[in-house]
Amino acid sequence: MINKLNLLRYNEFIWLSLILIAITSLFLITLAMNHSEAEDSVRYIYEVTKVPSTLSLYDPNHILFNSFNRVVYDLWLFLGYKGNAELPMQINNVIAGIVTLFLVYLIARRLEMSVYFSLLCLGMVSMSYGFWRYSVEAETYILPLPFILLSAHRLMIIAESRFEYRHFFLLGLFMAMATLFHQQHVLLIFIAPFAIIFLHSKIPLKFPKHQISGRVILFFCVSGGIIAAVYFPVAIFLAEQSELGEIIKWSQGKAVGNVFLLPTLSGGWWATKTRCPPYKNHLSPYKGCPALSEWPTGPTSISIRRFIAKASGDLPCAMGSSLP
């Protein structure tokens, strides 16, 4: 006789699998064909496909994004793929998006939500515009999310009075990986200890303060060590930065100089403390390239397949001039 609990788990597995397969199919048939709404993806696809320089694979704001996608693209080429990096990069994001949705479900179940509400959470995230849009685009925002949710899941495990060293090691690893795929997540590394200290305050007798301090130090050493092990070699050997101050400044990427983009009443953009050449109400970080008003828009906006075939010289200039 089939155990009732096992039957419930089997039904849960079937429903979860069917929904994830359906969402995967939906993402695959809605892959972005036009990248004018995520214009950075044009540059990413170009850099991964053409590799104008080795350093172009290591943007300090998302230092592993291009390099990881290039490794996957090389694997596709080895298997006989003939196209540019657009499709492999989009498939990477589809996979990362589905893994993220599975982790959303896993976290909801760990919070003791019912199967119905856990699936509802999964579905609501998958159908949100931002998540769906970037899961089918060659952009940077989806790849870090599995590591963010793995970090949240690990904190939930720690909250169950499981303060073993391995959990803090894995927490540091996951947060470091999220930061390497998108630098903004470094902020979470400084927030996590507050969550750990709060959790420890709930069980003060089991783990004395000096023991929890050692675990927090381990977390910082793992996360900081992994990040430094990637940034420092790239900064020294590829970016040719020799002094510590130069390395730190290069590692900050676009965060250097307090650059902020603000919408103006005319619909353009302006920046403060930026090194970009002035273009009336438009901002372009590339020298010698046309203002955004001169770029193709609407029905003639950029198609990456045409762009990769025709692009020559500096990327944004090619965007503005090489398309018919």
pLDDT tens digits for 8-23?
788 899 999 999 999 9
What band does 176 get if pLDDT is binned at 50, 70 and 90? very high
Q: CA-CA-CA-CA torsion for 256, 257, 258, 260, nearest 10 degrees?
A: -100
Determine the pLDDT at residue 200. Answer: 65
Instruction: Indicate whether this model's pTM tops 0.85.
Output: no
Domain layout of the chain by residue ranges: 1-142, 144-256, 261-321
Place of tokens 């390239």: 289
Dihedral pair phi/psi, residue 160, rounded to 5°: -85, 25
Report the SS3 class of residue 262.
Answer: strand
What tokens were used for 105?
A: 């479900």
Q: Would you say 314 and 289 are in contact if contact means Cβ atoms under 8 Å apart?
A: yes
Write the DSSP assignment of 78-132 as a string of letters: HTT--S-SHHHHHHHHHHHHHHHHHHHHHHHHHTT--HHHHHHHHHHHHHSHHHH
Determine the pLDDT at residue 150. Answer: 97
Range with lowest mean pLDDT among 36-45, 92-101, 236-245: 36-45
Determine the pLDDT at residue 264. Answer: 39
Determine the pLDDT at residue 203. Answer: 60
What band does 319 get if pLDDT is binned at 50, 70 and 90? very low
